[in-house]
Structure 1
Amino acid sequence: MSRHIPETIQAIEPLRPDAPFREVDFAPVDVLLTPQPDGSLILSNRQPLAALPVTQIGEYLRHHAAQRPHQTFLAEPGADGQWQRLTYAQALTKANAVSQWLLDQQLPAGRPVLILSENSINQALLQFAAMQIGVPVMPVSPAYSLMSEACGKIADLSQRFLPALIYAGNSRRFAKALAVARAHSPDALWLCDDNVNADAIPFDRAAATSPTHAVEEAFGRVGHDTIARLLLTSGSTGSPKAVIMTQRNIIASGVLWDQVWPFLAKEPLVMVDWLPWNHTAGAHGALAMVLRHGGTLYLDDGKPVPHLIGRTVQHLRDIKPNVMTNVPRGLDMLVAAMEDDPAIAKDIFARLNAIVYGGASLAPNTLLKLEQLSAQATGRRIPISSSLGSTETTMPATLIWWPPKVLGTLGLPAPGVEAKLVPLGDRYEIRFRGPNITRGYYNDDAANQKSYDEEGFMLTGDAVVFADDEHPEEGLFYAGRLSENFKLATGTWVSVATVRGNLLPQLHPFVTDAVLTGHDRNELGALFFLNTSQIRKRLAGAADLDDAALTQFAPLQDIIREGIERHNRNFPGSSTRIARALLLDSPPSIDDNEITDKGYINQSGVLKRRAEAVKRLYDGQTLDSDCLIIDT
């Protein structure tokens, strides 16, 4: 068989609507597949990367401030619920003022600006101000400050990178993290939006500085190879590494995207986005895309969580963006809202030209529903694009730039990107090389030495397959994270991402995530994290039970067992069939490395912390009441 389309995708293909796709101007699909003497394949785009139009991203801000000074660049919800707007001219004026203030502080070279808090206009101004004069910024996940009891990662980062400046919008909210960071980098300056602490410098004071010619001189010294950002990896295998993002990386990533999506330049770009700027998808997706095209970015104060998704839905309905970036969980929740109220779909899809998602696989049913809902609302299907990328690839390395014949692929390498496909059984390990790929990790020679092969391709640790071996232009499918996969005692490999992707839809909405077990054992098992709020809401008799009691609640166990059995009927093989499961009575812990700041489960971290639970799961046939044995 030359086709490798997952069974879950094959199942929804007959259900796709036959409505035409929205007319969107995409580049031609023209890729080259070149066999190598060692058996690997090089997959590349025949369209070369265009010349980089600017030397640093600050030039985009200057260009648009001159061409469209009164247009809104950034908008954020104010205390009164109204949008607080910043024009391009205002953004440039304030960025230059903060640049001068930074120069006046004579910050030690090579020490970054550590940003603790969420997206905001002031954070954007600080980032632009620092990057345009050659001061690297290191935005970190707010979860490290707000979800951690000890702020251990903040302590680690402050010790290793010795920030010269620490910024948090709200000093009271981030008081614990600020104290930890300052304890480990005691000479760092402290910048906050408020006037609560005498030691902190108010952001407004920095933004009121009068620029001098020193700003222009520093601006002129910044080149393509100047470090702009230091973005952190998830730290799933230890301390987060700081990925070097040069001006070249960021500019090239934008150029390759614009080449295959030329429609971005056809009308003013309007986006509503919550993706955090400490992740490449937020910083180099929405924020950078809007800046390149002189568009408007509305900073969404909603998120894909039950108590905030309503804010996102309302913002999308009011603004009606023409491009949407999101994560799978966000799209799942938007689909649920649109199914409850079809008027929401009419508003959200009114001007939308494309949806792009990444970070994890999107459930096939959500892909199908997005096509169906957009066709029902507008008479046209909205193109849905996934991508394969990482912090190290800036964003993206692969992308879809055609109306997808097959849903759920990762697309193909964009212009300037080469993908090396190294055979690995029935899959390929994928590696990348190109001007958007990081040159390495900041102050981490050991990581750099093991992150690239002898030809300079970055090792991603990801596996892929072609949708169709004979037609590579149909794209690639994700085939798992190599470090997560394991062998059963029979020697059979288990593809963790594939099994989880097929299993979790059968357990929705009662299970938030699953970790697979069975390394060197005869049977595949699973640890389940429960969606306790949905269980208490939906199941009679569950409302007053604590988390431990829920794991032993018979009606819930019956639902979980039935979901697993449905999965097993679809996937009966030894490497896919779940033979036993355990319901966990506590959520994953960010402090114990069980969950990344993106909200994704760290398989190895959970198995390490829950080793006793795994042992209990496999100890004999008589198990505790929170364990399930699934009949053959």
Structure 2
Amino acid sequence: MTISHHDLAADINAQRPNAPFRPVRFAPVEIALETRDDGAILLTNKQPLQPLPVQQLCDYLRKHAQERPLQTFLAEPEGDGWKRISYAQARASVDALSQWLIDRNVPDDRPIFVLSENGINHALLQLAAMQIGIPVMPLSAAYSLMSETCAKIRDLTQRFEPAVIYAADAQRFGKALSVAKPLCNAIILSDAATHALVDACFDEALGTPPSADVEQAYARVTPDATARLLLTSGSTGVPKAVVMTQRNILASGVLWDQVWPFLADEPLTMLDWLPWNHTAGTHGSFSMVLRHGGTLYIDDGKPVPQLIGRSVRHLREIRPNVMVNVPRGLDMLVACMEEDPSIAAEIFPNLQVIIYGGAALLPTTLLKLEQLSVQATGQRIPVTSSLGSTETTMPATLGWWPSQSLGTLGLPGPGVEAKLIPDEDRYEIRFRGDNITPGYFRDPEANQASFDEEGFLITGDAVVFIDDKQPEHGLLYAGRLSENFKLSTGTWVSVANVRERLLEELHPLVSDVVLAAPNLHELGALLFLNLAQVRKTFPGLAEAAQAQIAQHPDVLAAINKRIQHYNAIFPASSTYIARALILDRPPSLDESEITDKGHINQRGVLKVRAAAVDRMYRANGSEGDCLLFGATR
């Protein structure tokens, strides 16, 4: 028995409000489909990509600095308020920083590393480097702050030899700076000289008078110049540095604006926490605001229990009109709205659309978002998703209509060609277009392996049509090709489908699931607890250690009951959970069990937790942290 989209969606669809969707000005849905002799499908948007309106991203900064000089471009929390910088101020600061980089002879073949989280100075440095042809590589702060050894910082420094390393707080990032500095002799830039390794302070760099050298360097930057180097998650090996050209970034923006023309209808205001070392944050929210001369409020909250309150407080104050988020962020936002309905009443009236990516959204969360928006405004908020990767600049497919189907990834944007290659009951999807990276920095082997003979990017993702007879309804995600595995019976396990349905059943007590294991006789599940929700559900465990919680009878009973309910619905050998193990520690970044994006690395967990998998399959009865559910029916 397979888990189909329709099986999962039927009950939720029946509960969805009958209210109209908010009237948002989207482009018409016009898709061309060509089926080749070998069964492959070429799926394209009938609307061609419009010509690039500018030569490089900073042309937008200069345009808005002239046309709306006093408009706030960026704002970040400061005390009880916001520190702001206008478009005119940003233009002046970016030019000064460009001159500073020129004066120090920073080359264009060695990147600038940014270790810090999102911030005004971070943004200014990125724009200053890119506008004169120096690539910038923002890194996950977790590589510096959550790693005991800063092993990834060491590896990246050795491979890519940064010319400048920026850390806003040199003390806080001191361990990473101490690891990197001896390996590359980079200029260490920080907001203050609080560490012995700091070579220059940011305010001093901002004081550099720009000269004609800046304009000359600016004029040399073409659409094919490298702008950013963004790292892949590293879930299949060491992170690769994806080359993002100016053309990639501009084309991604143009295709988005063509199908979302409403972005030009009113001043764009966004609040966003998504980190700029990921394409969703930097090419989604940041670039969207810059293109349209809007205002980006940099959120210092995020979807974790100790910080979600700050995000909600900022949302109530700012009231953005577009939201880009991840499913976990929307899950937590909905929970806050249910506890305090006034949050929805303040946020939804100004919000035109929500777009999410990175993982599947629980159908119950989508349902609640619609219900809450109807309660607040009388209309359903359009909630849509996209399919993209670091290599596609974001997005490759997206939704530009109020979908009646749950979880759609949308369709290819203008200028994007999608090649769908049959793979049993789904399709492997590949992409080609101006938004697709030309390759990986200093990695010819990866370049050769990542593109097919026609120049399509090999994504490793699988999709299906919502309706084979009506492709205009969009695509659904069908997992990673490399994740699925066979049991010893020869039965294939569709990891993405099983994981999504099981997580929905175990929500909110379990934060993630890893399915085990290739070539074994039955399906097992390793469970990572959502400790905050478990302690909230069982107040008596508020002070208990994770190892104690993993074996507590009340927790075991609750999870046992939910898995039994799941198994009753999905009893086939490819879906039935025969045994489960509650893990007593969270996934490790250093051991590559989890990516810096927070995504579980299935293969990494199975490798690191091999002893736990072995113990789970040797268990003869439910005991301790292990649960058994009997044989498949």
Q: CA deviation at 1:197?
A: 2.9
Letter in 1 for 2:317: D
Q: 1: distance between equivalents of 2:537 and 2:330?
A: 22
**In the alignment, does 2:460 pair up with 1:467?**
no
Task: Indicate the SS of the match to 2:497.
Answer: helix
Task: Indicate the SS of the match to 1:310.
Answer: helix
Q: 1: distance between equivalents of 2:319 and 2:394?
A: 24
Task: Indicate the SS of the match to 2:541.
Answer: coil
Task: Report the equivalent of 2:20.
Answer: 20
Task: Report the equivalent of 2:195.
Answer: 197
**Normalised by the size of structure 2, how large is the TM-score?**
0.98
Q: 1: distance between equivalents of 2:41 and 2:293?
A: 39
**In the alignment, does 2:493 pair up with 1:486?**
no
Q: Deviations over 1:173-195 (max 9, x none)?
A: 1111111111221x200100112
Q: CA deviation at 1:552?
A: 1.7
Spell out the pairing of 1:310-329 with structure 2 (5 A cutoff).
Answer: 310-329=309-328
**In the alignment, does 2:63 pair up with 1:63?**
yes
Q: CA deviation at 1:547?
A: 2.0
Q: 1: distance between equivalents of 2:538 and 2:337?
A: 24
Letter in 2 for 1:233: T
Q: 2: distance between equivalents of 1:448 and 1:352?
A: 40
**In the alignment, does 2:236 pair up with 1:237?**
yes
Task: Indicate the SS of the match to 2:349.
Answer: coil
Q: CA deviation at 1:564?
A: 0.6
Task: Report the equivalent of 1:449.
Answer: 448
Q: Deviations over 1:520-579 (max 9, x none)?
A: 111110001112233233225433432222222111111111111111122111111101
Q: 2: distance between equivalents of 1:346 and 1:39?
A: 49
Q: 1: distance between equivalents of 2:381 and 2:112?
A: 39
Instruction: Quickly say closer, same or farther: Cα 1:544–1:294, change in 2 above 3 A.
Output: closer
Task: Report the equivalent of 1:73.
Answer: 73
Q: 1: distance between equivalents of 2:172 and 2:123?
A: 19
Task: Report the equivalent of 1:574.
Answer: 573
Task: Report the equivalent of 2:285.
Answer: 286
Task: Indicate the SS of the match to 1:549.
Answer: helix
Q: 2: distance between equivalents of 1:301 and 1:141?
A: 15
Task: Indicate the SS of the match to 1:590.
Answer: coil
Q: Deviations over 1:472-497 (max 9, x none)?
A: 00000000111111111121111111
Preserved CA contact (<8 Å) 1:616 1:623: no
Task: Indicate the SS of the match to 1:307.
Answer: coil
Q: CA deviation at 1:200?
A: 2.8
Preserved CA contact (<8 Å) 1:268 1:295: yes
Task: Indicate the SS of the match to 1:256.
Answer: helix
Q: Deviations over 1:84-120 (max 9, x none)?
A: 1100000000000000000000013300000000000
Q: 1: distance between equivalents of 2:70 and 2:551?
A: 61
**Structure 1 stretch 475-484 or stretch 535-544: which is displaced more?**
535-544
Letter in 1 for 2:336: A
Task: Indicate the SS of the match to 2:169.
Answer: coil
Task: Report the equivalent of 1:350.
Answer: 349
Q: 1: distance between equivalents of 2:4 and 2:620?
A: 37
**Structure 1 stretch 479-488 or stretch 277-286: which is displaced more?**
479-488
Instruction: Quickly say closer, same or farther: Cα 1:123–1:544, change in 2 above 3 A.
Output: closer
Preserved CA contact (<8 Å) 1:4 1:465: no
Task: Report the equivalent of 2:171.
Answer: 172
Task: Report the equivalent of 1:251.
Answer: 250
Q: 1: distance between equivalents of 2:47 and 2:536?
A: 53
Instruction: Quickly say closer, same or farther: Cα 1:331–1:503, change in 2 above 3 A.
Output: same
Q: Deviations over 1:303-324 (max 9, x none)?
A: 0011110110111111111100
Q: CA RMSD in A?
A: 1.2
Q: CA deviation at 1:507?
A: 1.4
Q: CA deviation at 1:622?
A: 4.4
Preserved CA contact (<8 Å) 1:433 1:458: yes
**Structure 1 stretch 484-493 or stretch 113-122: which is displaced more?**
484-493
Q: 1: distance between equivalents of 2:19 and 2:526?
A: 41
Q: 2: distance between equivalents of 1:408 and 1:603?
A: 22
| Gapped regions of structure 1 (runs ≥ 5) | none
Task: Report the equivalent of 1:209.
Answer: 208
Task: Indicate the SS of the match to 2:364.
Answer: helix
Q: 1: distance between equivalents of 2:334 and 2:133?
A: 42
Q: 1: distance between equivalents of 2:531 and 2:14?
A: 35
Q: CA deviation at 1:623?
A: 6.3
Task: Report the equivalent of 1:54.
Answer: 54
Preserved CA contact (<8 Å) 1:257 1:414: yes
Preserved CA contact (<8 Å) 2:270 2:285: yes
Q: CA deviation at 1:509?
A: 2.1
Q: Deviations over 1:283-309 (max 9, x none)?
A: 000000000000000000110011110
Q: CA deviation at 1:4?
A: 5.6
Q: 2: distance between equivalents of 1:543 and 1:306?
A: 14
**In the alignment, does 2:552 pair up with 1:547?**
no
Letter in 2 for 1:70: L
Task: Report the equivalent of 1:158.
Answer: 157
| Gapped regions of structure 2 (runs ≥ 5) | none
Task: Report the equivalent of 2:429.
Answer: 430
Q: 1: distance between equivalents of 2:104 and 2:192?
A: 20
Q: 1: distance between equivalents of 2:147 and 2:482?
A: 26
**In the alignment, does 2:468 pair up with 1:477?**
no
Q: 2: distance between equivalents of 1:620 and 1:325?
A: 44
Q: 2: distance between equivalents of 1:183 and 1:619?
A: 48
Letter in 1 for 2:18: D
Q: CA deviation at 1:386?
A: 0.1
Q: CA deviation at 1:459?
A: 0.5
Tell me the percent identity: 63
Q: 1: distance between equivalents of 2:4 and 2:532?
A: 37
**In the alignment, does 2:393 pair up with 1:367?**
no
Q: 2: distance between equivalents of 1:48 and 1:509?
A: 43
Q: 2: distance between equivalents of 1:600 and 1:324?
A: 21
Task: Indicate the SS of the match to 1:453.
Answer: coil
Q: CA deviation at 1:624?
A: 5.0
Task: Report the equivalent of 2:118.
Answer: 119
Q: 2: distance between equivalents of 1:605 and 1:4?
A: 27
Task: Indicate the SS of the match to 1:450.
Answer: helix
Q: CA deviation at 1:281?
A: 0.2
Q: CA deviation at 1:620?
A: 5.3
Preserved CA contact (<8 Å) 2:305 2:532: no
